[in-house]
Chain A
């Protein structure tokens, strides 16, 4: 513990000090401004500075600055250079030429005044074009952000059979637009801020005003304000810095790649945190059971969805308990196994040199290595891992007599079951806890499993996600919210929003049981 504290306490004295300087005002001389910009950016290669002379006798010099790749060059040609060079030809030098240009020459929607070079420079990196004038201490920035970004594609993680197939991209504007398209309401509010002293990453909070839990929103804002870090490269940076409990294997913040999932969460009164540069959007607060829900649960019929959810809960228990139960029962409680099964299991174990626990541990670790290898290895050699994996785990280990066939079955079922859990972060945490269960099962049998399970439940009940009990609606138990937790009731039963997420505007709809029209 002390070690941890020491590690965390270490303070860095040298911080990047660009912000501490006084704001640099725009100089009257264009050359000085160019010099300053070049100095600040270290003569970076991707900075394009274009000086044009306009007006009669080309007396007027205008500097245009942008970062190549962040702006749409074609638009600069069409909407800035072309009007400036053509339409300004016959204009006399006027006192407020910049205002004239801003108001009637540049045909771009997003134009902002700039008086300070530093603020103008920071907007340079979000894809703005700076226009400065020789002889004026005033310029403006033009929003022409463009350049290459990934298209909206089907999300790779949360695929569905039925349902929208679009996923978030790395561009935050696209992402907010995707959500806006789902919720056409003026009450869908977006609040943005930049976090990261160096990266200045754009973070947007999205929520529906009037539905959102204001306390949670406030809490999210205060937690975000406290972040002091040099860079945010993925939403996990935010997640780890604002989550309720660090030392817990369970995630208390959900993430998703799907706009429909975010929209559904917003409608329930949650807050979405979008981070520029990643397609993974955070949703708070998140409950334990929600990590077992898939988007598709609401797009398929309710009975089928309920069945699938039950299946997932079963898979959860299989992932958590199958290897440890197998170890406990075969090494401590043989009397619990039916006689024919016992004989068949004993026959498989004949000649196996390791205790059941070591056997299970070896196989589970082999599987984890295979899984990790499958993700990390280059796609072009992906074939070989499956072949080697099946050979190692499947046949060779059994035929060599190192591993009993029953253990292979148990490990495989555990592996498959762990992949039915829709949230990857949840399935990882369960797979980790599984090893603790196995160790206790090997030392104390079913007693060990019972103790570990009680400990697990105590821990889960102690967790909170932004003040909402993690295990609700089971602990605290809430009858109404059972409609969308373990079961998925028919949609006409979804009269209210979840009680513990948001307390205001709880009514979703007048419940009307669908009936055929009356016969006369």
Chain B
């Protein structure tokens, strides 16, 4: 009996020593990559990885960060995976991808097609699917990743934070994560969009420390608009109002501003606090029709017009004005996408597929080219003004000369 126990126990104890701590990595053996960029260079990919230098971030002497908190390593190879592995020749530590926050894709590569590079990012076990993907507008991803930022010390974090905050309070941007992008790519009757980021100023100025030592940085990053894709290939950009229209239809708006003109040509702002869009489809005689109904609620944000806000009729009048403004924004967005790109980024095809799958079978063949660009879209907007802010009538009306 005791012999048996010893025979059983001995290998167990010895096993502990021969494991050699398989897969064990100490924290200071990792190069934590927070941002990655892919550009096209000739026929091969140029991969840039933004590595955090932890000591510079969490240094105890706050304020006097003497050095740059990140480094950018780049390699060039035919495939993404190869390039990633080659990175070890320039990086002293293993690149650790699990904490990737953002993937930047150069516009050139985007126009040629992003689907191939995405395979690695969805396949590798280390990568999560919850990082954001942005397009570097008019520049390379490498340049975007090499701009130093001030408030968020890590540029990749800065890119993500401003994307997340602007998506919450400013409708023209939209944040897309890898799983959402892949979902859009594989769904019939839906095409993806990605947010575009651009560099304001000279990209080469942003690389050095001087950039963040100045109160007005000479070069900085800015989200500008939304890139329209036809499946994996980028076609072009939407402008600000079109992007807002897109997000209103896609139900992406958490809060935004509507900029409306009064009858007296002055302007007022309506702060949308809640917007609910519903897209329905019906097919009659093989001609599809889409109904978009948007219900928005919110407050008066700024009022420069001379109106008596204490009256119910004025509020109703203002609501009508906002409704027609939003309707115009939405219709304009649909119209311009139909005319310019004729690619269904709104997922109208998917809506038809869901509601009437038999007619979709005949429609789907020439959906983007023929049916979508001729699609009739009926837009209904219903606006409710809930609050006027701290004051009702503006003090501007009381200023007498």
Which of B21, B25, B34, B54 touches A443 (beta carbons < 8 Å)? B21
Q: Are A346 and B16 in contact (CB under 8 A)?
A: no
- B54 near A334: Cβ-Cβ < 8 Å: no
Known: A339-B99, A347-B55, A347-B59. A331 touches B25 (CB 8 A): yes
CB-contacts of A419-446 with B (<8 A): 439-440, 442-445
Expressed in whole angstroms, the Cα–Cα distance for A439 and B21 within the complex equals 10
Contact A356 B26 (CB under 8 A): yes
Q: Does A351 contact B (CB under 8 A)?
A: yes
Chain A residues with Cβ under 8 A from B71's Cβ? none
Give the docked Cα–Cα distance between A57 and B113 (Å).
Answer: 133
B24 / chain A contacts, CB cutoff of 8 Å:
331-332, 355, 442, 445
Give the bracket for the number of chain B residues in contact with chain A: 20 to 34
Instruction: Answer whether A346 and B2 are a contact pair too, CB < 8 Å, given A332-B23, A334-B98.
Output: no
Residue of A2, A350, A440 with most chain B CB atoms under a 10 A cut-off: A350
Contact A342 B57 (CB under 8 A): no
A332 to B24, CA, bound (A): 5
Does A184 touch B at the CB level, under 8 Å? Answer: no
B283 CB, min distance to chain A CBs, angstroms: 46
Please tell me if the beta carbons of B30 and A346 are within 8 angstroms of each other in the complex. Answer: yes
A252 within 8 A of B: no
Closest to B125 in A: A335
- Complex Cα spacing A17 to B69, Å: 83
- CB nearest to A404 among chain B residues: B27
154-191 of chain B: CB within 8 A of chain A: 154, 157
Query: Which single member of B28, B126, B128 contacts A346 (CB below 8 Å)?
Result: B28
Interface size on A, residues (CB 8 A): 27
Contact for B34 among A339, A351, A439, CB less than 8 A: A339
Contact residues in A for B99 (Cβ distance below 8 Å): 334-335, 339, 342
Residue B268 lies at the interface, judged by CB distance under 8 Å to chain A? no
In the complex, the answer to whether A343 meets B32 with C-beta atoms within 8 Å is yes
Binary per-residue interface labels of chain A (324-346) against chain B in the complex, 1 for a CB within 8 Å, 0 otherwise: 00000011101100010011111
User: Using Cβ atoms and an 8 Å threshold, which residues of chain B touch A348?
Assistant: 58
| Partner pick for B54 among A330, A331, A332, A343, CB 8 A cutoff | A343
Contact indicator B6/A1 (Cβ below 8 Å):
yes
Question: In the complex, how many angstroms separate the beta carbon of B53 from the nearest chain A beta carbon?
Answer: 9
CA gap between A346 and B101 in the complex, in Å:
17
B19 at the interface (CB under 8 A from A): yes
CB proximity of B400 to chain A, nearest CB, Å: 55
> A349 contacts the other chain (Cβ, under 8 Å)?
yes
Cβ contact within 8 Å between B58 and A344: yes
Q: Which residues of A contact B154 (CB under 8 A)?
A: 343
Task: Give the docked Cα–Cα distance between A355 and B16 (Å).
Answer: 16
The answer on a CB contact under 8 Å between B2 and A1 is yes
Given the complex of chains A and B, what is the CA–CA distance between A331 and B27 in angstroms? 7
Q: Mark B327-353, 1 if CB is under 8 A from A, else 0.
A: 000000000000000000000000000
B28 in contact with A352 (CB, 8 Å): yes
CA distance A306 to B26 in the complex (A): 40
Most A-side CB within 10 Å, residue of B28, B34, B52, B58: B28
Is the contact region of chain A dominated by helix, strand, or loop, or is it mixed? Answer: helix
B-contacting residues, A348-375, CB 8 Å:
348-352, 355-356
Q: A343-B58, A350-B54 are in contact. Are A334 and B27 (CB under 8 A)?
A: yes
Question: How does the 8 Å CB contact mask read for A433-467 relative to B, with 1 for contact and 0 for none?
Answer: 00000011011110000000000000000000000
Closest beta carbon of chain A to B24's beta carbon, Å: 5
Chain A residue nearest in CB terms to B1: A1
- Is residue B121 contacting chain A, with contact meaning CB distance below 8 A? no
A347: chain B residues within 8 A (beta carbon): 54-55, 57-59
User: Which interface residue of A334, A344, A345 has the most chain B CB atoms within 10 A?
Assistant: A334
Which residue on B lies nearest to A406, using beta carbons?
B27
| Choice from A332, A443, A445 contacting B16 with Cβ under 8 Å | A443
Within 8 A of A (CB), among B223-256: none
Is B96's CB within 8 Å of the partner chain A?
Answer: yes
Query: Chain A, 19-43, contact with B by CB distance < 8 Å: what is the 0/1 string?
Result: 0000000000000000000000000
- Please give, as numbers and ranges, the residues of chain B lying within 8 Å of A445 by CB-CB distance: 23-24
CA distance A349 to B58 in the complex (A): 11
Q: How far is the CB of B131 from chain A (nearest CB, A)?
A: 11
A340 to chain B, nearest CB (A): 8
CA distance A2 to B4 in the complex (A): 12
Q: Which residues of A contact B59 (CB under 8 A)?
A: 347
CB–CB A350/B32 < 8 A? no
What's the least CB distance linking A386 to chain B, in Å?
Answer: 26
Q: How far is the CB of A393 from chain B (nearest CB, A)?
A: 19
Q: Is there an interface contact between B27 and A346, defined as CB atoms closer than 8 Å? A: yes
Cα of A181 to Cα of B23 in the assembled complex, Å: 64
Q: Shortest distance in angstroms between A414's beta carbon and chain B's nearest beta carbon?
A: 19
**Candidates A1, A343, A356, A444; contact of B52 at CB < 8 Å:** A343
Q: Is the CB of A350 within 8 A of B55?
A: yes
Set of chain A residues within 8 Å of B128, measured between Cβ atoms: 335
| Residues of A close to B90: CB separation below 8 A | none
Q: How far is the CB of A484 from chain B (nearest CB, A)?
A: 38
Instruction: For B28, give its contact among A2, A350, A443 (CB under 8 Å).
Output: A350
Expressed in whole angstroms, the Cα–Cα distance for A236 and B34 within the complex equals 58
Whether B16 and A342, one on each chain, are in contact in the complex, defined by CB atoms closer than 8 angstroms, is no
Q: A343-B32, A343-B57 are in contact. Are A330 and B27 (CB under 8 A)?
A: yes
Asked whether B5 is an interface residue with its Cβ less than 8 Å from the other chain, the reply is yes
Interface mask (B20-47 → A, CB under 8 Å = 1, otherwise 0): 0101111110101010000000000000
Q: Complex Cα distance A339/B101, Å? A: 9
By the criterion CB–CB under 8 Å, are A344 and B54 in contact?
A: yes
- CB-defined contacts of A350 to chain B, threshold 8 Å: 28, 54-55
CA distance A350 to B55 in the complex (A): 7
Q: Are B27 and A349 in contact (CB under 8 A)?
A: yes
Bound-state Cα–Cα, A343 to B70, Å: 12
**Cβ of B187 to closest chain A Cβ, rounded Å:** 28
Residues of chain A contacted by B30 (CB below 8 angstroms)? 334, 346
Q: Taking the nearest CB of chain B, how far is it from the CB of A359, in angstroms?
A: 10
Q: Bound state CA distance, A344 and B27, in angstroms?
A: 10
Cα distance, A240 to B218, chains bound together (Å): 77
State in angstroms the CA–CA spacing of A356 and B154 once bound together. Answer: 26
Q: How long is the Cα–Cα vector from A258 to B24 in the complex, in angstroms?
A: 49
Most buried by A among B6, B26, B157: B26
CB A452 to nearest CB in B, in angstroms, measures 11
- How many whole Å from A406's CB to the nearest CB in chain B? 9
In the assembled complex, which residues on chain A have CB atoms less than 8 Å from the CB atom of B32? 339, 342-343, 346
Q: Which residues does chain A contribute within 8 Å of B96, judged by CB atoms?
A: 334
In the assembly, what is the distance between CA of A335 and CA of B99, in Å?
Answer: 7
Residues of A within 8 A of B19 (CB): 443-444
CA distance A352 to B25 in the complex (A): 14
Cα distance, A334 to B97, chains bound together (Å) = 10
Contact A355 B57 (CB under 8 A): no
Measured between beta carbons, the chain A residues less than 8 angstroms from B126 are: 335
Chain B residues with CB under 8 Å of A349's CB are 26-28, 54
In the bound complex, how far is the Cα of B32 from the Cα of A342, in angstroms?
9
List the 8 shortest-distance A-B pairs measured between CB atoms, nearest first.
A347-B58, A1-B2, A347-B54, A335-B98, A346-B54, A349-B28, A346-B27, A349-B27
Which residues on B are within 8 Å of A, measured CB to CB? 2, 5-6, 16, 19, 21, 23-28, 30, 32, 34, 52, 54-55, 57-59, 96, 98-99, 101, 126, 128, 154, 157
A-B contact pairs, 24 of them (CB 8 A): A1-B2, A1-B5, A330-B26, A331-B24, A331-B25, A331-B26, A331-B27, A332-B23, A334-B98, A335-B126, A339-B34, A339-B99, A342-B32, A343-B52, A343-B54, A343-B154, A349-B27, A349-B54, A350-B54, A350-B55, A355-B24, A356-B26, A442-B24, A444-B19
Please name 18 further chain A to chain B contacts, defined as beta carbons within 8 Å, in addition to the given A331-B27, A344-B58, sorted by A numbering.
Answer: A332-B23, A332-B24, A334-B25, A334-B27, A334-B96, A335-B98, A339-B32, A339-B101, A342-B32, A343-B54, A345-B27, A346-B52, A349-B27, A350-B28, A355-B24, A356-B26, A356-B27, A440-B16
